[in-house]
Chain A
Amino acid sequence: MSEPFEPVIIGFTCNWCSYRAADLAGTARVKYPPNVRLIRLMCSGRLDPTFVLKALSQGADGVMITGCHPGECHYIEQNYKAMRRYLLLRRTLAQMGIEPGRVKLVWASAAEGVKLAKEISTLVEEIRALGPLNWPGRVKMATGGNGTAVSAHISQEVTA
């Protein structure tokens, strides 16, 4: 390979903590690699494993889920749900042969810009070591080029 592998990482941030931590990192000019694309949710409790699977299935090499520290959720206890979903998702991914290290859960308060930047840097290197996931390419190969996107095959609900 001529160029080093640059992983694509989707990061889900919580409006009340980690998104502000990322903001703080930016304001303070703390450097972190540009491989992560941050998406703001209102809470890590909104993180449906569907989002993670969608990211991986569409070409992300890794996913970072971030939220408020346990006990500090703006919505009281939703980050515990994120924690439980994450732990269950990891088990499912492992069974599917996808390295669990591609998905990471990180707690970061609004004051922890430096910590978040460090976690992002670490994850980028960890995923760089794992190599590309390239799920769309793999599916295309395995289906003989028929990489038809999976659609929810429901346009309208009808009871016959």
Chain B
Amino acid sequence: MSDNGSGKPKFAMYWAASCGGCEIAVLNIGEKILDVDAAFDVVFWPVAMDAKYHDVEAMPDKSITLTLFNGSIRNQENEHLAKLLRQKSAILVAFGSCATEGCIPGMANFSSTEEIFTAVYDTISTHNPEGTRPKTEWMTPEGIVLTIPQFYPMIKTLDQVVDVDYFMPGCPPESHQIAAVVDLVIQALAGKATLPPKGSVIGAGGSTVCDECVRARNVKKIDKFVRIHEVAEVDPTLCLLEQGILCNGLATRSGCGALCPGVGAACIGCYGPAADVVDYGARLMTAVASVIDSRDPNEIEAILDGIPDPAGSFYRFNLAHSLLRAGKPAVSGNKP
């Protein structure tokens, strides 16, 4: 623990159900990380330093100035830490797509717990001869009860569990955006800048990825959807959607610099819904369906066959924060 009484503001970063990419993105800010060290005492950051949960529990309430919380709420431990860090932090940032909208882990909300456990513990690629499944409680032969955190039927986002001050989208957030946010907080602590209003999306733009994309755009009329490997050659300058490649840029928040379409890969929507979009997938359905160039139901169906996985394409990052939040299997009971 580096709480050496320096009087510096305190910084914490935590990962719940996440991949660790957000932590790498933070380290990717380069020498700016030295500014973080100069401006803050890092009091809790499991991926970077040793710390125990009881150390956090012992901290006074609101004593951590800034907490970046990445990862979604998959189990009881995630929820416990979310609540603990909310209590101990002055500013709690939902950091990255998992914490803000569920992200890839959130797609587990299409499936029931039983389906998830079967995929993990009982498929042909899994060596599990005893058919072991996780149990929240287990008594050892010595009579000691061991516990693991409970697995929840649905992934939740951070703001579905606790009050969140700021939302920083991205999978992961772009390093230059992180650096800008770090700068802003340091400036604000020095009284040289003011923080945005609570509830703001920070470290991102207010428009869409299309707005940042350099590709040429025309009136869209799509008579066939193709996947990128089905195209002999992607036109390097023309809008990908106009080439029939499903691109999520039109509903996705700007801030990444349209990196993916810039190199010929469709936007998959990791920066989450653009400003004022209530349901990301619905906005994409609205936009994509409207530019299909047919008035015949059978022909429209044939064109839609070119999108083999609409739910997965439209809710790849946003399912847990969408209006429905999950598919029917996940919300239909089936306790682990």
A residues with a Cβ closer than 8 A to B are 48-50, 52-54, 56-57, 70, 77, 80-81, 83-85, 87-89, 91-92, 95-98, 135, 138-139, 141-144, 146, 148, 150-160
Please state if B199 and A154 are interface contacts (CB–CB under 8 Å): yes
Taken together as a complex, chains A and B put the C-alpha atoms of A129 and B198 apart, in Å, by 46
| Residues of chain A within 8 A of B333, CB atoms compared | 141-142
B residues with a Cβ closer than 8 A to A are 100, 110, 152-154, 156, 159-161, 164, 167, 177, 180-181, 184, 196-206, 255, 273, 275-279, 281-283, 285-286, 288-290, 292, 294-295, 297, 300-301, 304, 307, 309-312, 314, 321-333
| Residues of chain B within 8 A of A160, CB atoms compared | 177, 180-181, 184, 196, 202-204
Q: Looking at the assembled complex, report how far the CB atom of A156 sits from the nearest CB atom of chain B, in whole angstroms.
A: 5
List 16 A–B pairs whose Cβ atoms lie within 8 Å, in order of A's numbering. Answer: A49-B286, A53-B279, A53-B282, A70-B295, A77-B295, A84-B289, A87-B297, A92-B311, A138-B332, A139-B325, A142-B330, A142-B331, A153-B199, A158-B197, A158-B200, A158-B206
Please state if A48 and B282 are interface contacts (CB–CB under 8 Å): yes
Q: Looking at the assembled complex, report how far the CB atom of A153 sits from the nearest CB atom of chain B, in whole angstroms.
A: 5
Please state if A139 and B295 are interface contacts (CB–CB under 8 Å): no
Please state if A154 and B200 are interface contacts (CB–CB under 8 Å): yes
| Residues of chain A within 8 A of B286, CB atoms compared | 48-50, 85
| Residues of chain B within 8 A of A81, CB atoms compared | 289-290
Please state if A53 and B324 are interface contacts (CB–CB under 8 Å): yes
Taken together as a complex, chains A and B put the C-alpha atoms of A56 and B203 apart, in Å, by 33
The 4 closest A-B pairs by CB, nearest first: A97-B328, A95-B311, A158-B196, A138-B331
| Residues of chain A within 8 A of B324, CB atoms compared | 53, 56-57, 96, 98, 135
Q: Looking at the assembled complex, report how far the CB atom of A74 sits from the nearest CB atom of chain B, in whole angstroms.
A: 16
| Residues of chain B within 8 A of A70, CB atoms compared | 295
Identify A154's interface contact among B255, B276, B289, B323, CB under 8 A: B276
Taken together as a complex, chains A and B put the C-alpha atoms of A148 and B156 apart, in Å, by 10
Apart from A89-B282, A153-B164, 10 more pairs, CB < 8 Å: A57-B323, A70-B295, A96-B326, A135-B331, A139-B326, A139-B331, A143-B152, A148-B161, A155-B199, A160-B196
**A45 to chain B: closest residue by CB:** B290
Please state if A84 and B290 are interface contacts (CB–CB under 8 Å): yes
Q: Which of B277, B292, B329 has the most CB of A within 10 A?
A: B292
| Residues of chain B within 8 A of A49, CB atoms compared | 279, 281-282, 285-286
Please state if B295 and A80 are interface contacts (CB–CB under 8 Å): yes
Please state if A97 and B154 are interface contacts (CB–CB under 8 Å): no
Q: Looking at the assembled complex, report how far the CB atom of B89 sits from the nearest CB atom of chain A, in whole angstroms.
A: 17
